[in-house]
């Protein structure tokens, strides 16, 4: 997962976010309904990472100035410049990611 996640914040914030996010990944079979599920094994996690790479999507998950609001960015890369960026915010990590995923899928 580290290959597709970039996080900012204090070491404690980043550690907490990593633990939250590692339990929530987008399963490819559920993309159309934008459901995020906890993966059951490292094989599942690796499959998701590969699918994200194939689709050329990158994820940035940010904490807003140490507040309880998180922003998830999905960036589709084309060459060196992102040609599409989708942003969503929420009070918890899974909701922020789910909202961004839903907006991303609605726009494709």
Average confidence (pLDDT) over 24-39: 35
Q: 54 or 9: which carries more pLDDT confidence?
A: 54
Domain total in the chain: 1
What CATH number does residue 67 fall under? Answer: 3.30.160.20
Mark out the alpha helices in the chain (DSSP H runs).
11-22, 42-54, 93-106
Q: Residue 82 sits in which domain range?
A: 5-106
Task: Pick 84 or 34 by higher pLDDT.
Answer: 84
Rounded to two decimals, what is the model's pTM?
A: 0.35
Q: What is the mean pLDDT of residues 19-40?
A: 37
- When mean pLDDT is compared across 5-9, 15-19, 30-34, 95-99, the lowest value belongs to 30-34
Which whole number is the average pLDDT over 40-61? 55
């Amino acid at each position: 997962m580290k290959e597709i996640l970039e996080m900012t914040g204090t070491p404690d914030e980043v550690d907490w976010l990593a633990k939250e996010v590692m339990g929530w990944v987008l399963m490819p079979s559920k993309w159309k309904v934008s459901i995020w599920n906890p993966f059951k094994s490292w094989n599942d996690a690796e499959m998701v990472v590969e699918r994200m790479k194939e689709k050329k999507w990158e994820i940035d998950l940010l904490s807003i100035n140490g507040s309880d609001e998180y922003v998830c960015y999905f960036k589709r890369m084309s060459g060196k410049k992102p040609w599409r960026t989708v942003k969503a915010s929420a009070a918890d990590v899974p909701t922020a990611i789910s909202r961004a995923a839903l907006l991303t899928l609605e726009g494709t």
